Amino acid sequence: MTNVLLVEEDDPEIARIIKYYLGQSESYQVDWVRDAQQAWVAARGGYDVILLDIMLPDMDGISLCGQLREWYHCPILFISCLGDSETIIRALERGGDDYIVKPFDNDVLHARIQANLRRARLEAEAVPGSGFSCAYFSLDAQNHILHKDGRNIQLVSMESRLLAFFMQNPHQYFSAAELYKIIWGKQSYGDNRTVTVHIYNLRKKLEDDPPNPRFLKNVWGKGYCFDPNGGGE
């Protein structure tokens, strides 16, 4: 049984549809709350996944996500009518694992939930202390810490997973859709903004000049590629 906490007040009709749709499957148990205070109290009961809207009456969902991330490590998927890049970036920076823009197909929601649950299970099964390194930095994938220039830089879990994958596959090109399928475990269904935002955030921590990346490059027509030499020979 997958226990889902649905935090939604802005669009109760969508909340009812989600609750009904997921509830049709015996594999889901959905609890619906309407504000941040109720969500904070409910989350103590432990959930496998949290579906979180941004427009809540007592606190915006992005701030709530940041608070929840201090205590809970289950996948958090944003569901929102706000589809601008700035909002998506802030949501993922504060600890969101995925972002789905309303309106969406409920089958896509189910697929995204399952993909993030698989990713969470794989993380839990990861070998402790697993690490990767190149000449310029190293990654503690278990603790999501980038060691660079004598500093320890904290990454969110998906940034760490992306960087670990790139470091394992240097000089190879991957499209955003391919990365979503590999890292999140499911087709992106045409919405690749989750990938591009995580890479954008990762570059801010990894690169000295993020707009002109040396390590994590994007070549038109080919995709993203990791260069462990930073453009050198």
**pLDDT truncated to tens, each residue of the chain (233 aa)?**
889 999 998 788 889 999 999 988 888 999 999 999 999 889 887 889 999 999 999 999 999 998 888 777 789 999 999 999 899 999 998 889 999 998 889 999 999 999 888 887 776 655 444 568 887 899 988 788 899 998 999 888 788 889 988 988 889 999 988 888 888 766 656 567 888 888 999 999 999 999 999 999 998 889 999 998 887 54
Q: In the chain, at which residue ranges do the beta strands (DSSP E only) sit? A: 2-7, 28-33, 49-52, 76-80, 98-101, 131-133, 137-140, 145-148, 151-154, 173-174, 216-219, 223-226
This prediction has a pTM of 0.64
Rg of the chain over CA atoms, in angstroms?
Answer: 18
* Tokens 């802005």, residue located: 10
Q: Which domains does the chain have, with CATH numbers?
A: 2-124 (3.40.50.2300), 131-226 (1.10.10.10)
Distance between CA atoms of residues 66 and 229, nearest Å: 34
pLDDT of residue 232: 53
Q: Can you say whether the dihedral through the CA atoms of 104, 193, 145, 142 is positive or negative?
A: positive
pLDDT of residue 186: 62
**C-alpha to C-alpha distances, 11 to 20, 34, 98, 200, nearest whole angstrom:** 14, 10, 19, 30
